[in-house]
Amino acid sequence: MKNINRRIFIRNTLYSGLSASIMPSQLMANDTATHSETILENKSRTFRKKRVIVAGAGISGLCCAYELMKKGHEVVVLEASGRLGGAVLSVHDGLADGLYADFGAENFTQPGYENYWRYLKEFNLTVLPYFHRKNRLTRIDGVWLTDEAQKAAYNQKVKDLGGFNSKEKEFLLANPSYDLSFLYLEPYFDTFKNEYQPFGIGFDHLENIPISEIYKQDGASKAAIATLGGSKTSALYAIWQAYIMHLRGYDKPFKLFRLKGGNQVLTNEFGRRLGSRVRLDCQVLEIVNGETGVIVKYKEFGETKEISADYMACCLRTTALKKIPIKPTLSPKKQFVIDNLAYDQTTRIVFQARSKFWLKDKLSINLTYNHPALTHIWQVADEVATERVSLMAKAPGGTNPLRTLEAFKEFYPGNKSNIDIEQVLVKDWSSDQFVHGCERHGFGDLGELSKFWPHTTTPHGRIHFAGAYADNRSWGMEAATNSAIRVALEIEKA
């Protein structure tokens, strides 16, 4: 261990004296040319300008680099793919009449997404309301149900289970039924001191107790226990997540929004401001965390290069991090997170139709199919002035889009002959080379939270970790901007 540190230290001091110079020596066996550089150092005394390598130009990498740049630090963003934005991907190509669709991160909320909204104001971007959950129809056991019919079925189920108790009834007079859990979780909220720290506040033992036990213990009715479920969810995790939702106002009805022109407008704006600080087609290969700085090997068009800096903001998802050796090795806890964090795998399928054909059937197009090749469908880019429409469908990763179309037609709740879909586009995140998968999964199983938290966010020496996976909730663009700002602050203070 000692030896390793020493070697790193020597190499590091050697490189940090150089600036943008070509190293003639063969650093790697198969390199055709090797090139080494350091980001220029600033000598000012009052403010110490830091040199930071940001890995990844997804929304978190761009946001973090932008924050650091604004504070006067020197940043270089290395992005493996040929585009900015990562999982924020708005597609116009292949759609007619100016239509577009967000194949990746899809919406944001209010309340919530506070940091995200700050950038929308700062860059003066146009926000549009998003109604894809309004007037929804849901297919359950082969039957299409309205939200009201589902509610009636829910009420019937509650009645069959013996009904709610008086405390629950009173709570539900003022709150929607999907918030019932808050009646039992809210009393725990006052104990939290910090939304990022669920441990050490007297609840640690709850990690291994199912939340359903808490409902029981706190006097929930049989109907509430049955409808709330949670026999496999850790009580600590459930309480903590509910607390965060409460802080951000998600326990009250919230509204959905998207950006006009596609959510990629924001990542494009970050990119434009960062300019040539972002280097596309530069895949990080290895990271060395030394005592005085970090050294990164990366590949640019097949050529291996090296760059060093004071710190790294590592904004890569764990699926990419798995492939990057980091020296010295990460702590076992950190390595566990990288090896075991799981992500949703979805395929996004976009249909273009000639008209709003569903209106002929007096239907809403917000349809939840619950079909293996089609989970939901809804309309996107509805503000574009054209008779044509673009529809977004969601399916599990690896789904053949033509099967999605077939399922759509077969189970469509109106007259099939009205359907005038003319184009099918697809984005399968489960097979994307760089952005493998969508949002990360939670850590809610019994005994799981302490395996992931807080190690998901802890730095490794001079390497700090941000990304949509590296925050206390998994909603993509919110978590990405929160964690990016956290890392920019960590580096600022370091």
Which residues lie near ligand HEC (CB under 6 A)?
A: 345, 396-398, 430
372 binds another protein (CB under 8 A): yes
Considering only 75-83, 117-125, 214-222, 397-405, which stretch makes contact with another protein by CB under 8 A? 397-405
Site for another protein in 432-451 (CB under 8 A): 433, 436-437, 441
289 binds another protein (CB under 8 A): no
Rounded to a whole number of angstroms, the minimum distance from the CB of residue 444 to ligand HEC is: 16
Residue 52 touches which of ligand HEC, another protein, none (Cβ within 5-8 Å per kind): none
Tell me whether residue 150 or residue 370 sits nearer to another protein (CB atom).
370
Rounded to a whole number of angstroms, the minimum distance from the CB of residue 28 to ligand HEC is: 34
CA angle, 447 then 452 then 453, to 5°: 100
Total binding residues for another protein by CB under 8 A?
Answer: 37
Considering only 114-122, 253-261, 390-398, 469-477, which stretch makes contact with another protein by CB under 8 A? 390-398
Q: Which residue type does 323 have?
A: K
Q: Among candidates 207, 259, 212, which has minimal Cα distance to 234?
A: 207
| 165 vs 330: CA distance, rounded Å | 51
Other CB atoms within 10 A of residue 237 CB: 24
User: CA Rg, the chain, in Å?
Assistant: 25
Place of tokens 């943008």: 20
Q: Among candidates 433, 124, 437, 405, which has minimal Cα distance to 281?
A: 433
Rounded to a whole number of angstroms, the minimum distance from the CB of residue 373 to ligand HEC is: 12
Site for another protein in 16-55 (CB under 8 A): 28-31
Give the relative orientation of helices 59-70 and 476-493 as an angle to the nearest 10 degrees: 40
Rounded to a whole number of angstroms, the minimum distance from the CB of residue 465 to another protein is: 18
CA distances in angstroms from 60 to 123, 270, 271, 283, listed in the order given: 17, 10, 12, 17
Check if the beta carbon of residue 97 is closer than 8 Å to that of residue 384: yes
252 binds another protein (CB under 8 A): no
Check if the beta carbon of residue 401 is closer than 8 Å to that of residue 412: no
Near another protein by CB under 8 A: residue from 170, 204, 291, 339? 339
Site for another protein in 112-141 (CB under 8 A): none
Other CB atoms within 10 A of residue 275 CB: 8
410 binds another protein (CB under 8 A): no
Residues of this chain that bind another protein (CB under 8 A)? 28-31, 285-286, 302, 304, 319, 322-326, 329, 339-340, 342-345, 372-373, 395-400, 403, 428, 430-431, 433, 436-437, 441
